[in-house]
Amino acid sequence: MEIAKIAGKNGRENGVLINVKDLVKIYPTAANGVEALKGINLEVHEGEFLAIFGKSGAGKSTLINMITGIDSPDSGEVQIGGASIHSMSDDELTRWRGRNLGVVYQFFQLLPTLTLVENITLAMDFCDTYPLAKRSERALQLLDQVGIREHAHKVPSKISGGQQQRVAIARALANDPDVIVADEPTGNLDSQTADDIYDLFSDLISLGKTLVIVTHDQEIAERASRILEISDGRIISSRSNDAPSNDRSAHEATLSLNCVSPRIQAAL
Partner 1 sequence: MHIPTRWIKILKDIWSNRSRSLLVIFSIAIGVASVGMITNAGILVQRDLYGSFAEGNPASLEIYVSPFQRDLTSAVDAMREVEDVQARRVERASVLNAEGDWDDLTLNAFPDLTDLKVNRVDLVEGRMSLGVREIAIERQSAEGLGLAVGDTITVKMEGDRAYDLDIVGIVHDLYGMPYALLGEVTGYVNLESLKWMGKPSYYNKLDVVVAENKYKQAHVLEIGNSIRDRVIEPSGYRVGSMGIPGLGSDPGKHWAEDQIDGFLLILQIMGVMAVLLSGGLVVNTVSAILVQQIRQIGIMRSIGAVRGQLIAMYFFNVLAYSVLGLAVALPLGLLGSWWLAEFAAGFVNFDLTTVNISWQVLTLQITLGLLMPLGVAIYPILSGTRMSVYDAIYQYGIGSEGSGWLDRALMKVRNLAPPIVLSLRNTFRNKARLVFTLLTLTLAGAMFIAVFSTRASLTVQIENVARYVTFDAALGLPYGSRKQTVEREALRIHEISAAEGWAQSIGVIVREDGSESGELEIVGLPYDSVTIDPLMIKGRWLEASDTSRIVVNDDLLDEESGIGIGSEITLKIGNRERTYQVVGVTSKHLSGSRIYMEYGSFGQLTNRPNQVDTIRVRGNLETIGSNAEQDVIAFQLENRFDNASLSKSSSITRHAIFGDFTDVFDLILVVLMIMAGLLALVGGLGLTGTLGINVLERTREIGVLRAVGASNVSVRQVIVFEGVVVGLISWVLGALLSGPSGRALAGAVVNAVMQADLIYTYSFTGLLLWLVVIGLIAVFSSLAPARSAVRLTVREVLDYE
Partner 2 sequence: MKTFWNKSGSNGSGAVKYKANGHLIAFNQVSKIYETSAGSFTALRDVDLRIDKGEFVSIVGKSGSGKTTLINMLTGIDRPSDGEIYVTGAAVHELDEGEIAVWRGKNVGVVFQFFQLLPTLSVLENVRLPMDFGGVFDRQERDDRAMHLLELVGIEDQADALPAKLSGGQQQRAAIARALANDPPIIATDEPTGNLDSHSSTKIIRLFEDLVSRGKTILMVTHDDELAGRAMRTIRLADGKVVL
**Residue 254 touches which member of partner 1, partner 2, none, C-beta under 5-8 Å by kind:** none
The region of 25-33, 74-82, 115-123, 221-229 touching partner 1 under the rule CB under 8 A is 115-123
Tell which one of 50, 104, 116, 159 touches partner 2 (CB under 8 A). 159
The region of 110-118, 126-134, 188-196, 200-208 touching partner 2 under the rule CB under 8 A is 188-196
Q: Is 153 in the site for partner 2 (CB under 8 A)?
A: no
Tell which one of 23, 42, 80, 127 touches partner 1 (CB under 8 A). 127
List Cβ<8 Å contacts ≥24 apart for 242-247: 244/49, 244/202, 245/219, 246/198, 246/199, 246/202
Could you give the strand order of the β-sheet that contains 179-183, starting from the edge strand earlier in sequence?
101-104, 179-183, 210-215, 49-53, 226-231, 234-240
Tell which one of 7, 22, 41, 55 touches partner 2 (CB under 8 A). 55
Q: Is 184 in the site for partner 2 (CB under 8 A)?
A: yes
Beta bridge partners of 226: 50, 240
Q: What is the dihedral of CA 43, 46, 48, 53, to 10 degrees?
A: 30
Nearest to 67 by CA among 187, 180, 208: 180
Residues 6+ apart with CB under 8 A from 262: 138, 141, 142, 173, 176, 207
**Residue 14 touches which member of partner 2, partner 1, none, C-beta under 5-8 Å by kind:** none
Beta bridge partners of 19: 43, 79
With respect to partner 1, which residue has the nearer C-beta, 12 or 99?
Answer: 99
The region of 32-40, 103-111, 201-209, 212-220 touching partner 1 under the rule CB under 8 A is 103-111
Q: Is 188 in the site for partner 2 (CB under 8 A)?
A: yes
Tell which one of 79, 145, 164, 175 touches partner 1 (CB under 8 A). 175
- Residue 69: its H or E element: none
Question: What single-letter DSSP state applies at residue 22?
Answer: E
Tell which one of 88, 122, 207, 253 touches partner 1 (CB under 8 A). 122
Are 193 and 161 in contact, with CB atoms under 8 Å apart? Answer: yes
How many residues bind partner 1, per CB under 8 A?
Answer: 34
The region of 46-54, 121-129, 233-241, 259-267 touching partner 1 under the rule CB under 8 A is 121-129
How many residues bind partner 2, per CB under 8 A?
Answer: 30
Q: Is 98 in the site for partner 1 (CB under 8 A)?
A: yes
Q: Is 39 in the site for partner 2 (CB under 8 A)?
A: no
Q: Is 194 in the site for partner 2 (CB under 8 A)?
A: yes
Burial class (CB in 10 A: 0-12, 13-18, 19+), 85: buried
